[in-house]
Chains A and B, each alone.
Chain A
Amino acid sequence: MTAVLEASSLGKRYGRRWALSDCTLSIPEGKVVGLVGPNGAGKTTLLHLGVGLLAPTSGSIEVLGGRPADGPAQLGRVGFVAQDAPTYAGLTVDKHLRLGAYLNPSWDDQVAHHRIEELGLDPSQRAGSLSGGQRAQLALTMAIAKRPELLLLDEPVASLDPLARREFLQTLMEVVAEQGVSVVLSSHLVADLERTCDYLVVLVASRVQLSGEIGGLLASHHRLSGPRRDPGSLPATQDVIEESHTERQTTLLVRTDDAILDPTWTVKPVTLEDLVLAYMGRARDTQPTRRSGLKVLR
């Protein structure tokens, strides 16, 4: 399968601070990818590198087999909606579409107008007076109407109310169904990702902690609980992602492709949220510098 986004030892430094370092990642085509991780993990930097708004300090990134922003053709293949879905407050909806048509050789005016009509937006209204949800929809329409092969969306629904969020994701999923576009979507809202994404990437401190088809990931992880025991005594094929112990009981989240045969365990399936939290927690615990404040909680 070809990759829509491939990063190898990718890094970006601002002055002395590395916003992203040594990031290696491969995202297959035709997926709706949920990119999750704590604030400061490098998600936004990664997306900006992917669209070509930033140039790498080190390593390399390829998007749809080309270098990001390497000429008009490459630019036309990638649609991008930045955080908080920025629009031009002083321009009307209609002028946004004319601007889009003027700037994008591959612009599909029919798609653009059809979307605006379906959303019930008034073409003569200024973007500055639209609601947050409408603005996000306008920004998405702009990104869709250029007919990209890949859409990069940076926390597109974070600031929207639940109804606007649902409507935004409905539009997005319709576009995926109609145009077969690949999507990478960063978000903290796991419930939204659960509905819309079929591929997950967990990024913590520039490192990919977990990446794969969500169905497969959920099937290969299990929550085990039983009498207290040392996780070191588990079969070698069971990788312990998260563990907690009381005096008598042990609860583990393990990854394994094999069946769990030990009858002393109660085995339960995991949710996407369990997975995200477990991998984010594990990454945090292996970073001694950030741990100090968290010990108190335990």
Chain B
Amino acid sequence: MIEFQLDSTSGVATYLQLVQQVHQALQLGLLEPGDQLPTAQQVVGKLAINPNTVLKAYRDLEREGLARARPGQGTFIVGTLPRTDPAAQARFLASMAKWLVSARSAGLGPDDIEAIYRTAFRNCFAEGVA
């Protein structure tokens, strides 16, 4: 069973952190269809968060078709997410490192680079944001 962690400094809403952790666990193969998610009681007993937060996260996962609640039993994983390909990850890490080196040698500092990255990231994922 997966164990949730919270990062209170991330600025990401608590329920979203839970959803993302399930996504990651699915991508890494730590969770598979048939696995049970911890009950709301178990999660709040550990993280001291509002039970509605857990239920909201689980409802989101249900909406995505990744989990299903079985009355009286709990919430179970029913869907999968494509695993992240480790080779692809390594390839993009390498090209990013190369890009960073060239940016530095062009005289850009860490702040400039971060601003460029953030802008590009925002533009790339802008669809879907109101």
Interface residues of A (CB under 8 A from B): 32, 166, 169-170, 172-174, 176-178, 191, 194-198, 215, 218, 259, 269, 271
Contacts and interface: CB of A to CB of B under 8 A. Distances in A.
A170 B50 contact: no
Contact of A269 (B11, B53, B130): B11
A267 B50 CA distance: 28
Interface string B39-73: 01100111111111100000000000000000000
B44 A170 contact: yes
B75 interface: no
A32 B50 contact: yes
Given A191-B8, A194-B8, A259-B130, A176 B48 contact: no
A177 B41 CA distance: 6
B41 A178 contact: yes
Contacts of A271: 11
Given A174-B41, A177-B40, A259-B130, A196 B48 contact: yes
Interface of B: 6, 8, 11, 13-14, 40-41, 44-53, 130
Contacts of B50: 32, 173, 176, 195-198
Given A177-B40, A194-B8, A170 B48 contact: yes
19 contacts: A32-B52, A169-B48, A170-B44, A170-B45, A170-B46, A170-B47, A170-B48, A173-B49, A173-B50, A173-B51, A174-B45, A177-B41, A191-B8, A195-B49, A196-B49, A198-B52, A198-B53, A215-B13, A269-B11
A32 B50 CA distance: 8
Candidate in A166, A177, A178, A198 with the most chain B CB atoms within 10 angstroms: A177
Contacts of B47: 170, 195
Contacts of B13: 215, 218
Contacts of B48: 166, 169-170, 172-173, 195-196
A173 B44 contact: yes
A120 to B, nearest CB: 15
B110 to A, nearest CB: 20
A177 to B, nearest CB: 4
A99 B49 CA distance: 31
Nearest to A31: B52
Contacts of B52: 32, 198
A195 B4 CA distance: 14
A191 B9 CA distance: 10
Nearest to B47: A195
A215 B51 CA distance: 14
A177 B58 CA distance: 14
A138 B44 CA distance: 20
A177 B51 contact: yes
